[in-house]
Amino acid sequence: MREGLILVAHGSRDPEWSRPFERLAAALEKKLPAAAVALAYLEYGPSLEEAAAALLAKGAGSIRVVPVFLGAGGHVKGDLPRLVAAARLSVPVSIDPPIGEQGRVIDAIAGEIAAPR
């Protein structure tokens, strides 16, 4: 069964705002060709429930939720688990730590900032 991957971001009414998340989804589709990838937004975009339904329709047998947030506050600690629970999905679901809590992500960002320009 395919793994379903939902990248969840905050969302904004500004359409340019979501560009990095769209790039991230495209990069992950290349890196994980066997997975089904979808974007979801807390505001102004497909909801977690809509993204999950799209992945189930594509044959996902499990869903991994990746919070694409640097800082973990109420959205990551409160809203997201609540939305996952409310979706009552029929397949196993896991929630990753937010990307900002992953040391290698922070190191990679530091490396880019420090790189000679």
Quick one: 28 or 54, whose CB is closer to its own copies? Answer: 28
Q: What is the DSSP letter of 97?
A: P
Residue of 38, 51, 55, 66 interacting with its own copies (CB under 8 A): 66
CB 9 within 8 A of CB 76: no
With binding defined as CB under 8 A, does residue 9 bind its own copies? yes
With binding defined as CB under 8 A, does residue 99 bind its own copies? yes
Give me the half-sphere count of Cα atoms (radius 13 Å) on the Cβ side of residue 13.
0
Q: How does strand 36-41 pair with strand 2-9?
A: parallel
With binding defined as CB under 8 A, does residue 17 bind its own copies? yes
User: What CA–CA distance (Å, rounded) separates 74 from 69?
Assistant: 11
CA 79 to centroid of chain Cα atoms? 14
CB 68 within 8 A of CB 9: yes
Residues 19-48 that bind its own copies (CB under 8 A): 19-21, 23-24, 27-28, 31-32
Residue of 1, 34, 74, 88 interacting with its own copies (CB under 8 A): 74
* Interface residues toward its own copies, by CB under 8 A: 5, 7, 9-10, 12-14, 16-21, 23-24, 27-28, 31-32, 66, 68, 70-74, 77, 96, 99-115
